[in-house]
Chain A
Amino acid sequence: MAGIETYQNKKVILSKERTVPFYLKLKTREAVAAYIFLAPFLIFFSVFFIRATITSIRLSFFDWRLLRPDITFIGFGNYIELLNDSIWWSAVQNTLFFAIMTVIGATIFGLAAALAVTRPIRGGEFFRVLFYVPQLMSVGAIGLIWNWLLNTQFGTINYFLSFFGIASVNWLGNPDIVMQSLSMVTIWWTFGFPMLIYIAGLQNIPEQLYEAARIDGANAWQTLVYITLPLLRPAILFVMVTGFIGHFQVFGQPQIITAGGGPGRASWTVIIYLFQNAWVAFRMGFGTAIAMAIAMIMAVVTLIQFKLINRNVEY
């Protein structure tokens, strides 16, 4: 629409110069070129995104098991089943708990590490690189390592804690603490990313502000609370939003470390629930309904977080 309007506006001006055909040619040439540039992207996007999303919505109203030929329309049946499934709700609860705890933990450790390595000390660069190393490992390697480290009897974490008089903890076998254990592992694994974002944010804070604070006699704590943290707020919000979205989709940690969400279903997350229903029980219709529900939860959370960011911008 907008393109046509500008085209017509310009046509009026240009017609005085009698260059309409040449102009028209240029304009169409540009549009044709643009679509040629866009074509590969749009083809992939249409097939694997637009078509897939529409199929997903449609399929969520059917009952269909992959290995059986019969497919039945059941209306909102899948959604009703989902809403009434206590396993689903405990998976939602586990996932929210995990995502919130991990985001908070990674923010605190990331911020503390960023503040420490940006002090004028020797070796700051070394620590910054070191703290990013775990982030480079695949969830496969993380899973193998931590499944063993957190072993109740032979794991070295419990052995290490025993020196401080802490009795051995059943990290992965106790349903009440298994999500905390997975969150702890994930914080260890991923806090290097928020740290780097905060370091960049800290470097953007003008030095004059710190000098002004020093002249006013502010101590380190006051400088942190009244200057550093408010100015880092956009970076902190960015890390929390992206972190929450990422950690809400957690799959590898329970899949590998607690062997598919154990003990029992104590560490089932929403993606484990989806995996179990769609690729273990092969319930494709129900699986798409789960995917839609996950999308809805994430949309709501993202909207809330966007609101928070916008408020920050206005202020």
Chain B
Amino acid sequence: MSVIKTSVSRNTWKIWVYLFLFILAILILFPLVNTVSQSFMTNQEVNVFPPRIFPFEPTIQSYIQVVTQGDVRLDLWLRNSLVAASGYTLLVLLICSPAAYAFSRLNFPGKKILFAILMVTIMIPGQVTLIPNFLLLRDLRWLDTFYALVLPGAANVFGLFLLRQFFMQIPRDIEEAVVLDGGGYFARFRHAILPSSGNVLAALSIFVFLGHYNDLFWPLIVTNTLETRTLPVGLSIIQSSYAGQFRPMILAGAVLSFIPILVVFIFFQRQIIKGVVTTGMGGR
């Protein structure tokens, strides 16, 4: 009797968990499915009441429009976003990893003070530097260029801390092998530290990349021509100029903009999820 009772209660408990998961899954998926579905409607069909969730006669008219409309340049915006985010990620790795090595392994005068300054700056939000950096880039005539999107955030203190924390855990024996071969500090960093840090460098890259790729504020203020916009900025502009007239085109733009990241996620899903946990970064 008691055996039956526990197995029944265990099963009912499982049913509740599944019910919760399915409801949550519907809440997550419904907006996405609705968007994809309505992007195949005509301009008339999205504006009928009551709203239709599935198109009566699916058409790719909105997708044709979004790639041919003269002032909607998803191709250029995507390229700009990818180039800027990759360049930024590369630069962050290039300047943060040697600095993290110095902080984790080397002794030098001023180390403690420098580290304390960096700790304090973590508390200062990015808005403080926005206006002076904007003015500097304007004076250098770098607004509307790749430099404006890439340079200002390159000294990523969070990345430095993350790498330092990881480098400190690498056993010293690995470095000693390089020292025995007569290698200097650079050789130790290059041949001992970097090869042992693949995972953390990958995790940091993914989040630095996603954070930059998804940023809206900075690219909005430092770009001002159609050709130099990034994807989030471009999307926000077509929303304000075309939402009233061509709703399916807007939805098609949103769908197309999400495809590259979704593809990356499908391939690197395990690494990304592991990276979220180890870095404690959500990607924005």
With an 8 A cutoff between CB atoms, is B4 at the interface?
Answer: no
- Those of B182-240 within 8 Å (CB) of chain A: 184-186, 189, 210, 213-214, 216-217, 221, 231-236, 238-240
State how many angstroms separate the Cβ of B217 from the closest Cβ of chain A. 5
A154 with B185, Cβ < 8 A, contacts A53-B124, A197-B280, A274-B127 known? no
State how many angstroms separate the Cβ of A260 from the closest Cβ of chain B. 8
The interface residues of chain B lying within 8 Å CB-to-CB of A136 are 210, 258, 261-262, 265, 283
Q: Which of A12-20, A95-103, A292-300 forms contacts with chain B?
A: A292-300
B277 touches A196 (CB 8 A): yes
Q: How far is the CA of A246 from the CA of B151 in the complex (A)?
A: 22
B254 touches A291 (CB 8 A): no
With an 8 A cutoff between CB atoms, is A149 at the interface?
Answer: yes
B243 touches A147 (CB 8 A): yes
With an 8 A cutoff between CB atoms, is A56 at the interface?
Answer: yes
Nearest to B236 among chain A residues (CB) is: A256
With an 8 A cutoff between CB atoms, is A3 at the interface?
Answer: yes
Contact of A156 among B29, B34, B160 (CB under 8 A): B34
A259 touches B240 (CB 8 A): yes
Contact of B235 among A135, A140, A149, A197 (CB under 8 A): A140
State how many angstroms separate the Cβ of A181 from the closest Cβ of chain B. 13
With an 8 A cutoff between CB atoms, is A89 at the interface?
Answer: no
Q: How many A-B residue pairs have CB under 8 A?
A: 286
A275 touches B217 (CB 8 A): yes
Contact of B280 among A36, A242, A275 (CB under 8 A): A242
Nearest to B111 among chain A residues (CB) is: A3
State how many angstroms separate the Cβ of A217 from the closest Cβ of chain B. 13
A143 with B235, Cβ < 8 A, contacts A48-B151, A137-B258, A302-B123 known? yes
Contact of B18 among A47, A48, A121, A148 (CB under 8 A): A121
With an 8 A cutoff between CB atoms, is B3 at the interface?
Answer: no
Q: How far is the CA of A255 from the CA of B219 in the complex (A)?
A: 14
Q: How far is the CA of A47 from the CA of B154 in the complex (A)?
A: 11
With an 8 A cutoff between CB atoms, is B70 at the interface?
Answer: no
A144 touches B253 (CB 8 A): yes
Nearest to A46 among chain B residues (CB) is: B155
B128 touches A144 (CB 8 A): no
Q: B115-128 vs A: 1/0 string, CB under 8 Å? A: 00010010111111
State how many angstroms separate the Cβ of B180 from the closest Cβ of chain A. 16
With an 8 A cutoff between CB atoms, is A72 at the interface?
Answer: no
The interface residues of chain B lying within 8 Å CB-to-CB of A40 are 94-95, 98-99
Q: B89-128 vs A: 1/0 string, CB under 8 Å? A: 0000011101101110011111110100010010111111
With an 8 A cutoff between CB atoms, is B27 at the interface?
Answer: yes
A119 touches B111 (CB 8 A): no
A255 with B102, Cβ < 8 A, contacts A30-B185, A155-B51 known? no
B216 touches A252 (CB 8 A): yes
Give the A interface residue count (CB, 8 A). 98
The interface residues of chain B lying within 8 Å CB-to-CB of A188 are 27-28, 31
- Those of B150-185 within 8 Å (CB) of chain A: 151-155, 157, 160, 184-185
Q: How far is the CA of A46 from the CA of B14 in the complex (A)?
A: 56
With an 8 A cutoff between CB atoms, is B130 at the interface?
Answer: yes
**Chain A CB within 10 A, most for which of B51, B127, B231, B265:** B127
Q: A91-124 vs B: 1/0 string, CB under 8 Å? A: 0000000000000000001001100110101010
- Those of A44-62 within 8 Å (CB) of chain B: 44-45, 47-49, 51-53, 55-56, 59
The interface residues of chain A lying within 8 Å CB-to-CB of B238 are 144
B273 touches A52 (CB 8 A): no
The interface residues of chain A lying within 8 Å CB-to-CB of B210 are 136
Q: How far is the CA of A299 from the CA of B125 in the complex (A)?
A: 9
A117 touches B108 (CB 8 A): no
Nearest to B127 among chain A residues (CB) is: A291
Q: How far is the CA of A59 from the CA of B284 in the complex (A)?
A: 29
With an 8 A cutoff between CB atoms, is B65 at the interface?
Answer: no
With an 8 A cutoff between CB atoms, is B60 at the interface?
Answer: no
Q: How far is the CA of A34 from the CA of B100 in the complex (A)?
A: 10
With an 8 A cutoff between CB atoms, is A237 at the interface?
Answer: no
The interface residues of chain A lying within 8 Å CB-to-CB of B106 are 30-31, 33-34, 37
- Those of A135-188 within 8 Å (CB) of chain B: 135-141, 143-149, 153-156, 159-160, 162, 188
Supplied contacts A48-B136, A144-B243, 14 more A-B pairs, CB within 8 Å = A34-B106, A37-B98, A56-B131, A116-B24, A127-B21, A132-B273, A137-B261, A139-B214, A145-B32, A149-B34, A159-B51, A246-B284, A284-B135, A295-B125
- Closest 9 A-B residue pairs measured CB to CB? A140-B235, A140-B232, A193-B282, A41-B99, A34-B108, A52-B129, A55-B132, A44-B155, A45-B155
B residues near A, CB below 8 A? 13-14, 17-18, 20-21, 24-25, 27-32, 34-35, 38, 46-51, 53, 94-96, 98-99, 101-103, 106-112, 114, 118, 121, 123-133, 135-136, 151-155, 157, 160, 184-186, 189, 210, 213-214, 216-217, 221, 231-236, 238-240, 243, 247, 250-251, 253-254, 257-258, 261-262, 265, 269, 273, 276-277, 280, 282-284
A residues near B, CB below 8 A? 2-4, 6, 27, 30-31, 33-38, 40-42, 44-45, 47-49, 51-53, 55-56, 59, 109, 112-113, 116-117, 119, 121, 123, 127-141, 143-149, 153-156, 159-160, 162, 188, 190, 193, 196-197, 199-200, 220, 238, 242, 245-246, 249, 251-252, 255-256, 259, 271, 274-275, 278-279, 284, 287-288, 290-292, 294-295, 298-299, 302
